[in-house]
Structure 1
Amino acid sequence: MHISCNTTIEPFAIEHATVATGDSDGRTLTDTTIVVDGLGKIRDIGPSATVVVPPGYHVIDATGKVVSPGMINGHVHTFSQGKPLDPKKSTPEAQRKSAKFMHSALGELVMRQASKANIKTLLNSGVTTLRTVGDVGYDVVSIRNSINQGRMVGPRILASGPMLAIPDGHGAPLVALESTTAEEARSQAEYSIDHGVNAMKIAATGGVTDSQVLGEAGKPQVTVDQMRAICEAAHANDIIVAAHAQSPEGVHRALEAGVDTIEHGCVLDDELTDMFLNNPNSLRGWSALEPTLSAGLPMKYLSQETLNMTNIQMQNSVSVVEGMVSGAKQAHDAGIKVGVGTDTAMPFVTQYGTWREMQLFNLFAGFTQAEAFHAGTQVTAEILGVADETGSIKVGKFADLLVLDENPADNLRTLEKPLLVVAAGHPIFHPKVNRFADIEAELNEAYK
């Protein structure tokens, strides 16, 4: 990614490409030209034989290549790279020590640099839109503002700031603000809004990676009243709310409160399915699921030694992971909107591995490859409320594009190494990321 104070866009056209539309049926357009103007938007698209490229536009010949929408990742953390976690650092006491440093002047500088590097990795891997769902502070808000103001090139960002949790709840205190009443929860939501967030997340239940006792993962934590107060504050500002929820009771309570996306999920019954499809308390009258299989399945297919997790964490993961996979399948079959979010920064969830979540949809959740790519582009754009701007290749939308060797609707793995990434009209030529060979080898063996 080229970062510069000068982000003027040179208008360009991509000629003679096969266009993978991202539709659920894998539809393509052959020998097509896409014209991108100086504002970074798609000015024209059509057969190369008839589209006229304006004088002075740079021309890229994509003969034999495929152009697709950029990937969208709806569940990102930027505080780490996805290597195994140190279980000694996941206790509330250790998190309090880490939080004290991270909220110091030096810690904030360190965190901003880490977030900036991880966002660069996401972009170079082909992610042109992302949502964070649990930040140490408001560093990603600052980075988003720099991108929006043209001071650096980057993906479109919905930044959450810290999660909203109970004292010593999931993510607290390192990546969460803590409250005990609805009034406090509303106040914290408004505090984050005042600090510029355009996304929000609630730690509705306990989680696996910081669990200290058996049964903690999936146990309800934040009350319905607290969650409802958060949703009301967020929705009044047109902000969608995510909820970490890993049990039927936890998911039910979060949907009842009005959350817009459930992160991770659980086994669904008819009542939960109906609540997803028709949720009058949510911002748009429906809620979506992001199963984050990338975060769950390593705990099923990799050894405890490889993951570097405690006995309690491994035992807590069993029912949670089974629920995530079953819920994803059920949601797909029921017509619930299922979005792509990987839970980057969790163990074995790298910042560059968004393509793998779609692969896991295909391998474990009943999606065809075309449906999985559709989920990672058009569906997640709709879930995040940015479908008018991105997610598909249409005149008037921003040019968030990938140039690939193959059609991802036929081979999702082609997304692993895009030849060219375009973010809002800014081309990143020869995008590169630093991959972790040991992690890739483990995951490739697990999912072969």
Structure 2
Amino acid sequence: MTHDYTRALALMLAAAFSLTCLPAGAETLVVTADRMFDARAGKVTGPVRVVVRDGLIEAVNPAELPAAARRVELGDHTLMPGLLDMHTHINGDWFTGDDWVTIPVHETAADWGIRGVVYAERTLLAGFTTVRDVGALPGFPDIALMRAIDRGFVPGPDIWPAGHFISTTGGHCDITGFAPGIQELGPKQGIADGVDEVIKAVRYQAKHGARLIKVCATGGVFSFSQNAPVGAQQYSLEELQAIVQEAGRLGLKVAAHAHGTEGINAAVRAGVASIDHGSILSDESVELMKERGTYLVPNLYLRQLTLPPDTPPATLAKSNYLKPRITESLQKAYRAGVNMALGTDAGVFEHGLNGREFAALVANGIPEAHALKMATVFAADLLGVDDRGVIEPDKRADLIAVPGNPLENISVMEDVRFVMKAGLVYKD
């Protein structure tokens, strides 16, 4: 019976995948559009013809086109590199209204993994061909999803998963609030205190397939502590340095959840690759980030959403305190020339709406071209890859198209009409 059920499930997934993706195989494609976004220059240029073969861009606007190539004519659209989202929780659905605190005691990683299949496809069809997944609940559902996508079992973006969040006991990423003895977590699940434990936590995530490390350096809006100020530092500089150094030995970068100034500065000094959220940046924070090349990954669309009416008063107060400071910090970082990459925090809100981050960035003072570069060439640099984020020969054929011109109307980024990932067409 189990064998029959497993076989039926595999057949259903295979059928769904075959309907979603239009395979190109070894076929040569020519994708044409009236416009192209040049991510390096931040400009939209004239008509474009892109030759795609074996998952790579073979040529851009060649003098002659391959005679036998299949043409994909997009017309009045802007062709763009596939987008990169540097802050997602692709298995998460904290937006459903369920009591997320109790999820770990009545759901398994398998539940999250199966939901992730649906959310990964939504993300891909929204134009995001690569994402960082910056922390999942115990059981590594993010890593399982990455492997399923990499093996072609299900459609979705390339995923850089973090495995479990790394957090102090009772910290922002620790599921607290239960009686002693219930849901007691340790370094394997990312809950670690002191240098020895955080090193063990990093090694365990890497052992099981993490491609980056996520540390909760400070508290946050949804932290359980009602006494500490929002964004209070939770890891010491020594612990943060140990995390970054051990991750570096394993070839991994570190993303830091950080809202408050002291925690931000400590994480930057420790050498993290990105400050995610970065709600309260001081002048010193900005100087440190610029000096060290640290990326800011803000989340603006999320801050526009209204919290549910049953939100605890302390949580609501923290959210209201941060909102104006987030905009101030974003503009301060932009004016100073701090590296910035796009991240949405999708999973806290509905997957597939990632494109709304662009309009939110522009509404908060970021120029359209810069916002688009944050999700292309800048994000690729943060990720540490040079094979995507631009439309150039020998790069991966990750391509999307939107109607009109996004530099004139940024909201078109919410209306992706064409998606190609590694030469395969998923939306046409």
Give the TM bin, normalised by the shorter chain.
0.7 to 0.9
Deviations 1:181-201 (A, max 9, x none): 111000010000000110111
CA contact under 8 A between 1:291 and 1:327: conserved in structure 2?
no
Residues 18, 89 of structure 1: alpha-carbon distance in 2 compared, 3 angstrom cutoff: closer
The 2-side partners of 1:189 and 1:8 are apart by 39
The 2-side partners of 1:429 and 1:356 are apart by 19
> 213, 227, 238: which one pairs with 1:200?
213
> 286, 290, 294: which one pairs with 1:273?
286
Deviations 1:386-405 (A, max 9, x none): 2x111110101111111221
1:53 offset after TM fit, Å? 2.3
Deviations 1:30-76 (A, max 9, x none): 222101102x11001116xx331242x22111222221112211000
1:350 offset after TM fit, Å? 2.0
Alignment-mate amino acid for residue 362 of structure 1: V
**Mean Cα displacement is larger for which, 162-171 or 289-298?**
289-298
- Count of matched residue pairs: 399
Q: How does 1:167-186 map to 2 (within 5 A)?
A: 167-173=169-175, 177-186=190-199
**Mean Cα displacement is larger for which, 29-38 or 123-132?**
29-38
Aligned to 1:44: 59
Aligned to 1:117: 118
CA contact under 8 A between 2:260 and 2:281: conserved in structure 1?
no
Aligned to 2:300: 293
The 2-side partners of 1:79 and 1:309 are apart by 23
Alignment-mate amino acid for residue 35 of structure 1: V
Aligned to 1:34: 50
CA contact under 8 A between 1:13 and 1:36: conserved in structure 2?
yes
CA contact under 8 A between 2:302 and 2:344: conserved in structure 1?
yes
Q: How does 1:196-345 map to 2 (within 5 A)?
A: 196-279=209-292, 286-298=293-305, 302=306, 305=309, 308-345=310-347
3-state secondary structure, aligned to 1:277: helix
Aligned to 1:161: 163
**Structure 2 stretches of 5 or more lacking a match?**
1-12, 176-182
The 2-side partners of 1:143 and 1:79 are apart by 8
1:271 offset after TM fit, Å? 2.0
Deviations 1:364-398 (A, max 9, x none): 1x211122111121111111112x11111010111
3-state secondary structure, aligned to 2:275: strand
1:375 and 2:374 are equivalent in the alignment: yes
3-state secondary structure, aligned to 1:63: coil
The 1-side partners of 2:269 and 2:344 are apart by 25
Residues 6, 360 of structure 1: alpha-carbon distance in 2 compared, 3 angstrom cutoff: closer
The 1-side partners of 2:307 and 2:169 are apart by 31
The 1-side partners of 2:394 and 2:416 are apart by 24
Deviations 1:272-293 (A, max 9, x none): 12211223xxxxxx21101111
Alignment-mate amino acid for residue 323 of structure 2: V
CA contact under 8 A between 2:165 and 2:216: conserved in structure 1?
yes
CA contact under 8 A between 2:92 and 2:136: conserved in structure 1?
no
> 81, 84, 95: which one pairs with 1:72?
84
1:79 offset after TM fit, Å? 3.4
Residues 210, 268 of structure 1: alpha-carbon distance in 2 compared, 3 angstrom cutoff: closer
Residues 362, 206 of structure 1: alpha-carbon distance in 2 compared, 3 angstrom cutoff: same
CA contact under 8 A between 1:214 and 1:315: conserved in structure 2?
no
The 1-side partners of 2:159 and 2:403 are apart by 27
1:312 offset after TM fit, Å? 0.7
The 2-side partners of 1:83 and 1:216 are apart by 25
**Mean Cα displacement is larger for which, 389-398 or 267-276?**
267-276
Alignment-mate amino acid for residue 196 of structure 2: E
Aligned to 1:58: 70
The 1-side partners of 2:64 and 2:289 are apart by 43
Alignment-mate amino acid for residue 343 of structure 1: D
Residues 371, 83 of structure 1: alpha-carbon distance in 2 compared, 3 angstrom cutoff: same
TM-score w.r.t. length of structure 1: 0.83
Deviations 1:205-262 (A, max 9, x none): 1111243415443011122222211111111122110111111111011112211100
The 1-side partners of 2:158 and 2:34 are apart by 25
Aligned to 1:403: 401
The 2-side partners of 1:325 and 1:235 are apart by 32
CA contact under 8 A between 1:244 and 1:264: conserved in structure 2?
yes
Aligned to 2:419: 421
Alignment-mate amino acid for residue 355 of structure 2: W
Alignment-mate amino acid for residue 158 of structure 2: R
3-state secondary structure, aligned to 2:36: strand
Once the two structures are aligned, what percentage of the paired residues are identical? 24
CA contact under 8 A between 1:17 and 1:30: conserved in structure 2?
yes
3-state secondary structure, aligned to 2:226: coil
The 1-side partners of 2:41 and 2:328 are apart by 21
CA contact under 8 A between 1:6 and 1:151: conserved in structure 2?
no
1:313 offset after TM fit, Å? 0.3
Aligned to 1:363: 363
Aligned to 2:39: 22
1:12 offset after TM fit, Å? 1.1
TM-score w.r.t. length of structure 2: 0.87
